[in-house]
Amino acid sequence: MPEELTPLEKLQLMVPGYRGYKAKDLIRQDDFLIRQAVIQKLEASINNLSRLEGEIVADDPFSPLLKRIESIISSIRTLIGTTLTLQGGGGDVYARYKIQTEQLDEIVKNDMNMIDIGNQILNLSSDANNLTAISQLLDNLRNIILKRNELFFPPQDR
């Protein structure tokens, strides 16, 4: 939750019966902001990789690195789309699966891991020597997204 709350939010957290709703709402807002930060980092990584691609084309238009970079950019775009459309930090009142506060905390924890990976991808995206590491980080990001989705839609027992 944000450290700085408005006076109204502080008051809402004091009201018995409303406190839980407000706490969940603040976690949902954090979740949204975190996912937007991840998307921005991934978009900046695409820009870095595109610049790198341009430099490689200028030196060697038939370099095999170009295909790898394009593949990574494609994977990043897919993850951006997936992150953009992820279930938000909590379902609505009529959701089949109710999200508890503990699950929301776990969702935000997963989102924070996504930010860490986004930072790493962004830091590595300016050097062609890091393409393998970027691919591994993208796989890690995919796994975090899968784990995150399981918090919203628990696996069915068969």
Q: Per residue in 20-42, pLDDT tens?
A: 666 677 777 877 888 899 999 99
d(CA 38, CA 21): 26
Report the alpha-carbon angle 138-141-147, nearest 5.
145
3-state DSSP call for residue 126?
coil
DSSP state of 100: P
Q: Per residue in 77-131, pLDDT tens?
A: 999 999 888 776 555 444 555 666 677 778 778 888 999 999 999 999 999 899 9
Residue with tokens 């949902």: 28
What is the model's pLDDT at position 67? 94
